[in-house]
Structure 1
Amino acid sequence: MIRKQIKECSECASRNIYRDVEKGETICRDCGLVIEDRMVDMGQEWRSFEDDKGGDRRRTGAPTSATQFDGGLGTEVGTTSDFYKLGSDRERDRFFRLRKWNIRISTAIERNLKVALAELKRVSSFLRLPRSVEEEAARIYRQAVQKGLVRGRSMESVIAGALYAACRRHEIPRTLDEMGEASGIEKKEIGRTYRFVTRELGISIKPSNPADYIPRFASALKLSPETQSKSVEILEMARDIELTSGRGPTGIAAAALYVASLIHGEKRTQREVADVAGVTEVTIRNRYKELIKKLKLTKAVEKSKIKK
């Protein structure tokens, strides 16, 4: 079970969170609330004796990780660089013989995981995803392999689907377009694989919150904090009348940001907003019309145009 990373202050809802690793505390920089005071340190545990003079002072190994094919617990018979440290020919022959058998006895699943998890790390790094999401995706992929869900599908599409599922579970907004760009797989294929894997593994995914996409979209469009806040307010109004139900979260979020930019005189074209959100201009246009009509924002938009 993964403990969710704290994203905002429970007192003032600020996202300006500071994590003091030495004290094990999570603190809100705005109001000073100590949100958490028992953080787990996943780093090495060190010995510290007076007679220790250099050398390896680690008292434990590295933490286990689902992103390593052996969970971080396996051993390997040396590396190629170790060959040059050996003195006699007899020792070198023995080294290569042991290394060869170590590779031979690896199972097909282990070999699959070794390649797949390297690809997972690459895609995760491209998308700048946190370690917690990477670990969750690795666990999902392992379960998929163990249940034989990878057969008949490309390894890359299952990796992308697992990462997308992990992002959704951790409320880290990433679009299928972004996932497709990072993995080189068509977004439709990622979507199909994501739905298949989550269904077969019984993974529950909460509906995406459109407001989670606002900060990234606003940053890419270089919009002010006021416009960003207004777009979140528009989304809350839309949610109250169930206008967000049954609509893609990225499309409705982008449209809300487009409306807010018009109201605050920071006009961006529908093409610019669509490109950032990874949706079509038609989607922006349709959602925009729905928002200003149902939320009665036509006057506010017209008023901003007159002021300008």
Structure 2
Amino acid sequence: MGDFNINLRLKYEQQCPDCGLSDFVEDHASGDLICRNCGVVVEAHVIDERSEWRTFGDKDGGSGVDPNRVGGPVNHLLSDGGMSTMIGGAKGVDHGLVRNLQRMQARTEVTTDRALIAAFKEIGKICAAMRLLDTVKKQAEEYYKQAYDNAKSIKNKSQAAVLAAIVFLACRHTGNARTFKEICAVVPQASVKEIGRIYKSVVRELKLQEELGNKQLEGSHPHSYMRRFMSQLSMQPREFMWGEQLTLALLPQEGPEANVHTPWHGKSPTSIAGTVVYIIANLPGKTHVPLPDICRTCGVAEGTIRQIYREIYPHLKALVDKAGRFASHADIDTLPVPVEVSKP
């Protein structure tokens, strides 16, 4: 279980040697791992570890085509490794006998496995709807298995909210952070409040803070959203990097500065990410993006971005210097002056 997930995660979290991004698509026909951004083939002759489909007929050369899946991938989270078989019907077979055999097989199946298989199927649907990587799906399945076995907090709770919280947790852990609003858009049966409550309970009961670090799970960092937001706004890869550096300068995660309180501490990570996009998009020579487009992509109100920008503006030159000085002080002076703030 661990080796499979680690290998899969490493495959998709490596950086493209050409553009530096980590957004890949796998061409199963040719066995290539291709960068979505620049088209470079990062890996070749990759082994396809998915399940395979085969087509069988009831008779040799007959027209009764019956496509069947031949063996699912091994799933170590299930008691039988996911290698169970199913009794199916065919022409000329007593259907009453088949139903009796299927009923007997259902009775002998492990109840836990049936519940897990159903949950994993729903997790797969959520991840597919959100276009998440397979690493996120696998991590969500692991967390759900742990919660199912150990966490009392998910008992008698809405299954939709539990699965949404588990996927949210897996997104955080794998560095593919998504907002509660994005999760709710795919799982409308669950509310943001309900998902957040279950998420915190699962993290506490499974002791994930101790295992993975408090900072990673207490709240996502704006850094996690920069590449996705800026990519959706057709900004440049180097601007992705500047955005990430500026968010880390705004909210350091290590060292004594990590505990220093600033006016923007406690703000929503997506709001801070949107403000950073707004700053970079208004610097001379950078990709200009209108504020309404930024707000629509980040899911943040214009007033929220303007408020955080007003708080950051007096400190911006020092922050940009700390972030690698990707803009000169003269460039920063060309930025819009927020209301009630005079140029320093």
User: Aligned partners of 2:239, 2:221: CA distance in 1, in Å?
Assistant: 16
Q: Deviations over 1:2-31 (max 9, x none)?
A: 21233314797354768687998868898x
Q: CA deviation at 1:186?
A: 1.1
Within the alignment, does 1:278 sit opposite 2:299 as a pair?
yes
User: Aligned partners of 2:120, 2:51: CA distance in 1, in Å?
Assistant: 23
Q: Identical aligned pairs, as a percentage? A: 27
- 1:216 aligned partner: 228
User: Aligned partners of 1:278, 1:62: CA distance in 2, in Å?
Assistant: 38
- 2:142 aligned partner: 139
- 1:266 aligned partner: 288
Within the alignment, does 1:201 sit opposite 2:211 as a pair?
no
User: Aligned partners of 1:172, 1:106: CA distance in 2, in Å?
Assistant: 35
- 2:164 aligned partner: 160
User: Aligned partners of 1:236, 1:169: CA distance in 2, in Å?
Assistant: 20
Q: Equivalent residue of 1:301, what SS?
A: coil
- 2:178 aligned partner: 174
- 1:77 maps to which of 64, 68, 87: 87
- 1:306 aligned partner: none
- 2:327 aligned partner: none
Change (3 A) 1:40 1:170: farther
Q: Equivalent residue of 1:295, what SS?
A: helix
Q: CA deviation at 1:279?
A: 3.2
Q: CA deviation at 1:94?
A: 2.2
Q: CA deviation at 1:236?
A: 1.6
Change (3 A) 1:6 1:239: closer
Within the alignment, does 1:186 sit opposite 2:191 as a pair?
yes
Q: CA deviation at 1:272?
A: 3.9
Within the alignment, does 1:42 sit opposite 2:49 as a pair?
yes
Change (3 A) 1:286 1:235: farther
Aligned residue pairs: how many? 283
TM-score by length of 1: 0.73
Unmatched tracts of structure 2, length 5 or more: 53-60, 62-69, 259-264, 318-330, 338-344
1:17–1:26: 8 Å Cα contact kept in structure 2? Answer: yes
- 2:326 aligned partner: none
Q: Aligned partner of 1:215: which letter?
A: R
Once the two structures are superposed, the pairs formed by residues 88-167 of structure 1 within 5 Å of their partners are: 91-149=94-152, 150-167=154-171
Change (3 A) 1:267 1:77: closer
Change (3 A) 1:40 1:210: farther
- 1:233 maps to which of 239, 242, 245: 242
1:292–1:298: 8 Å Cα contact kept in structure 2? Answer: no
Change (3 A) 1:42 1:238: closer
- 2:262 aligned partner: none
Change (3 A) 1:152 1:77: same
Q: CA deviation at 1:75?
A: 2.0
Q: Deviations over 1:266-308 (max 9, x none)?
A: 3423x543332233444322222233221137613149xxxxx
Cα RMSD for the two superposed structures? 3.9
Q: Deviations over 1:54-89 (max 9, x none)?
A: 9xxxxx9442136879642222222xxx1x4234xx
Q: Aligned partner of 1:188: which letter?
A: K
User: Aligned partners of 2:18, 2:294: CA distance in 1, in Å?
Assistant: 33
Q: Deviations over 1:156-204 (max 9, x none)?
A: 1111111111111111132111111111211221122112112211222
- 1:13 maps to which of 2, 8, 20: 20
Within the alignment, does 1:86 sit opposite 2:92 as a pair?
yes
User: Aligned partners of 1:61, 1:75: CA distance in 2, in Å?
Assistant: 8
- 1:292 aligned partner: 313
TM-score by length of 2: 0.66
Unmatched tracts of structure 1, length 5 or more: 46-53, 55-59, 304-308
Q: Aligned partner of 1:179: which letter?
A: I
User: Aligned partners of 1:214, 1:238: CA distance in 2, in Å?
Assistant: 9
1:21–1:41: 8 Å Cα contact kept in structure 2? Answer: yes
2:295–2:301: 8 Å Cα contact kept in structure 1? Answer: yes
User: Aligned partners of 2:32, 2:240: CA distance in 1, in Å?
Assistant: 32
User: Aligned partners of 1:18, 1:265: CA distance in 2, in Å?
Assistant: 26
Q: CA deviation at 1:230?
A: 3.8
Of 176-185 and 93-102, more deviation after overlay is shown by 93-102
